[in-house]
Structure 1
Amino acid sequence: MRNLFEKIGAIIIEIIDWFYFPFLRFIPKEIFRYAASGGANTFFDILLYFVFYRYVLDMQIIHLGFMAISAHIGAFLMVFPITFCTGFLLAKYVTFTSSELKGKIQLFRYLLTVAGSILLNYVFLKIFVEYCGWYATFSKIVTTIIVVMYSYMAQRYFTFKTGKRLIPAKANR
């Protein structure tokens, strides 16, 4: 299975890198790959969220007997397992391919960083939909922008640990 993921990852990298040339002076390749693969996964996430919220849940509260879950949170919970898997695979086999950490460690760390993303998603969706009165899909888009910034930093410097310091240490004078 790993070989299959590596082959698919190599194909995706080829496609992404083909579009990289105009950006090479402005964006490091790793960030471009993260933006492209993460952007595709984010688009997939928002599309699934819209479909689940609008058509599967019909924008109705989910009554579980012992509790009720709003449709915007229910849609998030339903979409999450799907995009968790696609996000991890894209990060591991497309963006952070130079990480030398073992896959199990990466997966555990990815789970931890995604837990932070879940918390941020939950909090911002609650704030934007229930307190600000924004539409759920628009709230999801704004929330996603915030969470993506957190996610890149956490994945680069913790989950896949490929990053060096942002600011180089000053040389001895």
Structure 2
Amino acid sequence: MRKIHQGIRRSIISIIDLFYPLFNSFFSIQTFRYAACGGVNTLLDIALFAVSYHFVVKKDDMDLGLITLSPHIAALLLGFCVSLPIGYYLNRYVVFQQSGLRRRSQLLRFLSVVIMCISLNYLLLKIFVDGLGWYATPSKVLTTILVAAFSYLIQTYILFKNKQPIDAMG
């Protein structure tokens, strides 16, 4: 299993680093990897949101018995269930590999940031869709941009803070 994990990790890093020379005068390798991993995971999350909103919940409320979720909130949670583990994997093993933190500690910190981000997602979607009457998918895109900026700052300077610089292949 370790060989598979190492192979996947090295493949992802190799593909990302292949494009780094185009951007090395603008970004550090870590910032570039964060942007690449985050960008792919963000696009996946938005695609999952759109598919969930239009085809899974079909723009209808989702009755869970004790609570009823509006369609955009149900779609947010469905996409989140997939993008959360992928995002953690990419941050832990591709972007912030040398943070010096134990996995358990890093996971707990990651989950605390995720809770803040999902709360911010929820709040912004409620404001944009329910409060301002905007369409759900463009609201999700704008929300994602705002939350990604917040998440980057928190993860870079608190969650996965590096104790040492990283080299090209980590």
- Contact kept, 8 Å, 2:99 with 2:163, in 1: the verdict is no
What's 1:58 paired with?
58
* Mapped contact 1:128–1:139 kept (Cα < 8 A): yes
- Aligned partners of 1:22, 1:64: CA distance in 2, in Å? 48
- CA distance, structure 2, for counterparts of residue 2 and residue 158 of structure 1: 28
SS in 1 for 2:26: coil
1:156–1:163 CA contact under 8 A, matched in 2: no
Change (3 A) 1:56 1:143: same
Measured in 2, the distance between the counterparts of 1:2 and 1:105 equals 21
Corresponding residue number in structure 1 for 2:119: 119
Partner residue of 1:149?
149
* Whole-angstrom distance in 2 between the partners of 1:30 and 1:160: 11
Query: In the aligned structure 1, how far is the partner of 2:153 from the partner of 2:8?
Result: 25
Aligned to 1:77: 77
What is the CA–CA distance in structure 1 between the aligned matches of 2:40 and 2:2, rounded to whole Å? 21
TM-score by length of 1: 0.90
Aligned to 2:161: 161
SS of the residue corresponding to residue 20 of structure 1 reads helix
Q: Distance in 2 between matches of 1:140 and 1:146?
A: 10
Report the equivalent of 2:128. Answer: 128
Give 1:46's aligned residue: 46
Gaps in structure 2 of 5+ consecutive residues: 165-170
CA offsets, 1:20-52, max 9 Å, x none?
111111111111110001100000001111111
* 1:67 to partner: Cα distance: 2.6
Equivalent residues, number: 164
Structure 2 Cα separation of the partners of residues 104 and 6 of structure 1: 19
- Asked if structure 1 preserves the Cα contact closer than 8 Å seen for 2:88 and 2:110, the reply is yes
Aligned amino acid, residue 117 of structure 2? S
Task: Output the CA distance in 2 between the equivalents of 1:34 and 1:5.
Answer: 19
CA contact (8 A) 1:99 1:160 kept: yes
Worse-superposed segment, 125-134 or 151-160? 151-160
CA offset digits 1:138-168 (Å, max 9, x no partner)? 000000000001111111122212279xxxx
Structure 1: gaps (5+ residues): 165-173
Percent of aligned positions with the same letter in both sequences? 45
Paired with 1:125 and 1:35, the residues of 2 have a C-alpha distance of 23
CA RMSD, Structure 1 to Structure 2 (Å): 1.4
Partner-residue secondary structure (3-state), 1:19: helix
CA offsets, 1:73-128, max 9 Å, x none?
01111221211000000001111112110111111100001111011100000000
Partner of 1:171: none
Aligned AA (2:123) = V
* Alpha-carbon distance between aligned partners in 1 of 2:81 and 2:158, rounded to the nearest angstrom: 21
Report the TM-score when normalising by structure 2: 0.91
Structure with the greater relative contact order (CA < 8 A, sep ≥ 6): 1 or 2? 2
| SS of residue in 2 equivalent to 1:138 | helix
